[in-house]
Chain A
Amino acid sequence: MKLPISWLKDFIDLDGLSVEEIARKLTLAGLEVEEIKYVGLPVSGASAEGMHSSERHEFKTSGIGWDREKIVVAEIREVNPHPNADRLTLLDLYDGQQSQVVLTGAPNIFHLKGTGKLARPIKVAYAKEGSTIYDGHTDGLVLTTLKRAKIRGVESYSMVCSEKELGISEEHEGIIILDDDAPVGMPLVDYMGDAVLDISILPNMARNASVIGVARELAALTGRELKKPSIEYKTHGESVEKLASIQITEPELNPRFVLGLIRNVEIKPSPYKTQRRLRLAGIRPINNIVDATNYAMLDQGEPLHAFDYDVLKERAGNKNVKIITRAAKDGEKLTTLDDVERKLTSANVLVCDEKGPLSIAGVMGGAESEVSDGTRNILLEGAAWNFINIRKTAKQHNLPSEASFRFSRGVHPSLAETGVRRGLQLMAEWSGGEVAPGLVDAYPLKPKDSVVDVTPQDVKRLLGIDLTVEQISELLTRLEFKCEITKDGLRVTAPSHRLDIGEGVVGLADVLEEVARSYGYDNIPETRMADALPPQIGNPVHEWEEHLRDILVSLGLQEIVSYRLTSPERESRVAQYDEYVTLANPITPDRRVMRRNLVASVLEVVEHNARAESNALFELGPVFEPVENDLPDEPRRLVLAMTGSREALAWDVKDSPNFDFYDMKGRVELLLSGLRYTDVVYAPTDTVNYLHPGKAAEVRVNDKVVGVFGELHPLVKDRYEVEDAPILVAEFDLDVLHAVSPGYEIKPVPDVPPVLEDIAVIVDESVPASRVEALIRQTGGRVLTNVRLFDLYRGEQIGAGKKSLAYSLTYQSDKTMTDAEAAAIRNKIVKRLEHEVKAKLRS
Chain B
Amino acid sequence: MLEQLKEIEKTALDALSEVTDPAVLEAWRVANVGRSSPLMQVFAGLGKLSKEERPTVGAAANRVKVALESALEERAQAIKEAALAKSLEEESLDVTLPGRGIHVGRLHPSTQQLRRVLDILADMGFQVYTSREVETDEVNFQLLNFPPNHPARDMQDTFFIEAGERGDNPILLRTHTSPGQIHAMREFAAANPDNPPPIRIALPGMCFRYEQITARSEIQFNQVEGLVVGENITFADLKGTLSDFARRMFGQHARTRFRASYFPFTEPSAEMDVECFVCGGAGCQVCKNSGWLEILGCGMVHPVVLQNGGYDPRRYSGYAWGMGPERQLMVRYRIDDIRYFWGNDLRFLGQF
Contacts and interface: CB of A to CB of B under 8 A. Distances in A.
Interface string A162-205: 00000000000000000000000000000000000000001111
Interface in A528-562: 528-539, 541-543, 546, 549, 552-562
B344 A531 contact: no
Interface of A: 27-30, 32, 55-60, 202-206, 387-388, 391-392, 408-410, 460-465, 505-506, 508-510, 512-513, 516-517, 521-522, 524-539, 541-543, 546, 549, 552-565, 581-588, 591, 594, 605, 608-609, 612, 614-617, 621-622, 624, 628-632, 634, 647-648, 650-653
B205 to A, nearest CB: 10
Contacts of A464: 234-237
Contacts of A615: 346
A534 B125 contact: yes
B104 A561 contact: no
Interface of B: 97-108, 110-111, 115, 125, 127-130, 132-136, 148-152, 154-155, 159-164, 166, 170-171, 173, 197-200, 206, 208, 210-213, 219-220, 228, 230-237, 239-241, 243-244, 257-262, 264, 267-270, 282-283, 288-292, 300, 302-304, 307, 313-314, 317, 341-346, 349-350
A524 B164 contact: no
16 contacts: A462-B235, A464-B235, A513-B267, A516-B268, A527-B240, A529-B228, A531-B231, A536-B127, A538-B128, A556-B105, A559-B111, A561-B344, A563-B342, A585-B160, A586-B159, A631-B171
A56 B237 contact: no
A648 B155 CA distance: 48
B308 to A, nearest CB: 12
A56 B289 contact: yes
B349 to A, nearest CB: 6
Contacts of B288: 60
B283 A56 contact: yes
Nearest to A591: B219
Interface centre among A614, A615, A624 (most CB of B within 10 A): A624
B161 A203 contact: no
A631 B139 CA distance: 12
Given A534-B200, A561-B111, A629 B233 contact: no
Contacts of B350: 558
Contact of A524 (B111, B231, B232, B239): B239
A32 B152 CA distance: 16
Contact of A539 (B129, B173, B210, B346): B129
Given A56-B291, A538-B127, A524 B198 contact: no
A521 B152 CA distance: 22
Given A202-B262, A564-B208, A581-B134, A465 B107 contact: no
B259 to A, nearest CB: 5
Given A557-B105, A559-B349, 19 more contacts: A28-B257, A392-B149, A462-B234, A462-B235, A505-B303, A505-B314, A506-B304, A525-B236, A526-B236, A529-B237, A539-B130, A541-B130, A558-B349, A558-B350, A582-B161, A586-B159, A608-B345, A616-B105, A624-B133
A533 B260 contact: no
B199 A534 contact: yes
Contacts of B304: 506
A586 B208 CA distance: 12
Nearest to A530: B232
B28 to A, nearest CB: 42
Contacts of B154: 203
Nearest to A612: B346
A365 to B, nearest CB: 23
B307 to A, nearest CB: 8
A283 B13 CA distance: 113
B64 to A, nearest CB: 47
B342 A561 contact: yes
Contacts of A510: 267
Contacts of A631: 132, 134-136, 171
Given A409-B151, A648-B103, A584 B161 contact: yes
A801 to B, nearest CB: 37
A136 to B, nearest CB: 28
Given A462-B234, A532-B230, A546-B115, A616 B103 contact: yes
Given A527-B240, A529-B230, A629 B164 contact: yes
A60 B289 CA distance: 8
Given A554-B105, A605-B344, A57 B290 contact: yes
A452 to B, nearest CB: 12
A609 B268 contact: no
A587 B219 contact: yes
* 3 nearest A-B residue pairs (beta carbon): A464-B236, A464-B234, A56-B283
Contacts of A617: 344
Interface centre among B132, B148, B307 (most CB of A within 10 A): B132
B248 to A, nearest CB: 13
B134 A559 contact: no
Nearest to B198: A534
Contact of B220 (A29, A202, A564): A564
Contact of B261 (A202, A524, A534, A647): A202
A552 B127 contact: no
A553 B352 CA distance: 13
A549 B111 contact: yes
Contact of B260 (A29, A465, A585, A628): A29
A527 B319 CA distance: 13
A506 B303 contact: yes
Contacts of A542: 128, 130
Nearest to B130: A542
B259 A587 contact: no
A392 to B, nearest CB: 6
B38 to A, nearest CB: 48
A30 B257 CA distance: 13
Nearest to B160: A584
Contact of A527 (B99, B237, B343): B237
A425 B93 CA distance: 93
Nearest to B101: A648
Nearest to A616: B103
A30 B259 contact: yes
Nearest to A581: B161
A546 B212 CA distance: 31
A560 B292 CA distance: 31
Given A203-B151, A553-B106, A624 B244 contact: no
B25 to A, nearest CB: 37
Contacts of A522: 257-258
Contacts of B110: 561
A391 to B, nearest CB: 6
Interface centre among B125, B166, B171 (most CB of A within 10 A): B171
A60 B287 CA distance: 10
A22 to B, nearest CB: 15
Interface centre among A58, A513, A588 (most CB of B within 10 A): A513
A97 to B, nearest CB: 39
A327 to B, nearest CB: 16
B139 to A, nearest CB: 10
A528 B233 CA distance: 10
A532 B198 contact: yes
Interface centre among A529, A615, A648 (most CB of B within 10 A): A529
Interface centre among B130, B171, B259, B313 (most CB of A within 10 A): B259
A526 B255 CA distance: 12
Nearest to B349: A558
Given A203-B155, A556-B105, A509 B149 contact: no
A521 B100 contact: no
Nearest to B301: A509
Interface centre among B133, B199, B241 (most CB of A within 10 A): B133
Nearest to A590: B213
A529 B235 contact: no
Contacts of A204: 152, 262
B303 A556 contact: no
A549 B235 contact: no
B262 A582 contact: no
A205 B292 CA distance: 24
